[in-house]
């Protein structure tokens, strides 16, 4: 099942993966910016802001040197002003502790305020090519439906279980594509409302499909 899931997901991604600017970089800071922007904002609104942001602050050192008021103004109109302030604080900390770089190990990354388990996994797998799992809302929903099927997606026990599922299904190669594929798949096929089960390559083995996942409460 694990192998089938990997193969189906990577095949689907090859045919359907979106061409997004942060998929053409391995720069840890650029990956971090995209992840923080995507936390509460739709992809189509993030793309132009991501480009504008990196033109203005191309490195962590450039961001660290900017004034906070400038940084929050550049962020507009994305909203949730805590996010640019967090990025700014991460930039200043990276300059103070690591010469303007981001470290690649989980523990040190997570020692930054504003970098949690998900963001650390994203930076490690997308920028450093490490075999690091990610579980955000989209990924949790996909893994829950395919491997668990029914129950309470939001309970702590389920979340913990989904992290271990995510670690287990992760391939040893193509980690970048696999994690990007998981997120895309959750955003476009296995969506929260009205999942496109009839187009879905996971359907033959999906634990939720017989329970009609379109009727789940979220």
Q: Which of 145, 162, 170, 178 binds ligand SF4 (CB under 6 A)?
A: 145
Least distance in Å: CB of 186 to ligand SF4? Answer: 8
Q: Look at phi and psi of residue 62 and say left if phi exceeds 0, alpha if psi is from -120 to 50, else beta.
A: alpha
- Cis previous bond, 87, omega within 30: no
Q: In the stretch 10-49, what mask flags binding to ligand SF4 with x, by CB under 6 A? A: ----------------------------------------
Compute the least distance from the CB of residue 131 to ligand SF4, in Å: 23
Residue 162 vs 206, nearer CB to ligand SF4: 206
| Nearest distance, CB of residue 145 and ligand SF4, angstroms | 4
Minimum CB separation from ligand SF4 for residue 195, in Å? 4
Q: Which is nearer to ligand SF4, 17 or 129 (CB)?
A: 17
- Asked if residues 109 and 115 have their Cβ atoms less than 8 Å apart, the reply is yes
- Per-residue tokens: 173: 């190669």
Burial of residue 120 (number of CB atoms within 10 Å: 0-12, 13-18, 19+): buried
DSSP string, 65-118: HS-HHHHHHHHTTS--THHHHHHHHHHHHHHHHHTT----SHHHHHTSTT--HH
Question: Is residue 148 near ligand SF4 by the rule CB under 6 A?
Answer: no
Instruction: Determine if 78 is a binding residue for ligand SF4 (CB under 6 A).
Output: no
Q: Which of residues 186-215 bind ligand SF4 (CB under 6 A)?
A: 189-190, 195-197, 200, 202-203, 206, 208-209, 213
Exposure string of 188-215, with b = 16+ CB inside 10 Å and e = fewer, is bbbbeeebebeebbbeeebbbbeeebee
80 or 209: CB nearest ligand SF4 = 209
172 DSSP assignment:
S
Q: Which pair of tokens denotes residue 5?
A: 């899931």
Question: What is the size of the binding site for ligand SF4 (CB under 6 A)?
Answer: 14
Annotation marks residue 216 as catalytic: no
Active site residues per annotation = 35
The residues that touch ligand SF4, with contacts defined as CB under 6 A, are: 145-146, 189-190, 195-197, 200, 202-203, 206, 208-209, 213
């Amino acid at each position: 099942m694990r192998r089938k899931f990997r193969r189906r997901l990577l095949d689907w991604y090859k045919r359907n993966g979106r061409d997004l600017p942060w998929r053409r970089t391995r720069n840890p800071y650029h990956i971090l910016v995209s992840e923080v922007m995507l936390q509460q904002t739709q992809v189509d609104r993030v793309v132009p802001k991501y480009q504008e942001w990196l033109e203005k602050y191309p490195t962590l050192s450039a961001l660290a040197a900017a004034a906070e008021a400038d940084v929050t103004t550049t962020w507009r109109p994305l909203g949730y002003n805590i996010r640019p302030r967090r990025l700014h604080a991460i930039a200043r900390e990276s300059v103070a502790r690591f010469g303007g770089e981001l470290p690649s190990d989980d523990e040190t990354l997570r020692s930054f305020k504003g970098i949690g388990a998900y963001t650390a996994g994203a930076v490690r797998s997308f920028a450093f090519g490490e075999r690091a799992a990610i579980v955000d809302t989209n990924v949790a929903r996909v893994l829950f439906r395919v491997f668990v099927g029914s129950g309470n997606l939001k309970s702590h026990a389920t979340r913990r279980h989904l992290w271990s599922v995510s670690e287990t299904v992760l391939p040893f190669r193509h980690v970048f594509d696999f994690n990007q594929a998981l997120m895309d798949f959750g955003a476009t096929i296995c969506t929260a409302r009205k999942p496109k089960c009839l187009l879905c390559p996971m359907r033959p083995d999906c634990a939720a499909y017989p329970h009609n996942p379109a009727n789940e409460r979220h």
